[in-house]
Amino acid sequence: MKEKEIKVLKVKPHEHPEVCMLKNTLEGYIDIVGLDDNYASY
């Protein structure tokens, strides 16, 4: 079953990540980016 909304993490440079809900109307491929525990952003 296709969900009506999906939960995403919006990350803007120099800001805290924000959890958002989007309508599930995206088509095509979506990449998932995984970061290891040693990742730091400056």
Residue-averaged pLDDT of the chain: 80
| Count of C-beta atoms within a 10 Å radius of residue 6 | 14
With residues binned 3-state (H G I as helix, E B as strand, rest as coil), the percentages for the chain, rounded to 5, are 0, 30, 70
Looking at residue 29, its pLDDT comes to: 74
Q: Which residues pair with 7 in a beta bridge?
A: 21
Looking at per-residue confidence, does 33 or 40 come out higher? Answer: 33
Could you report the per-residue pLDDT of 9-21, keeping only the tens digit for each?
888 889 999 999 9
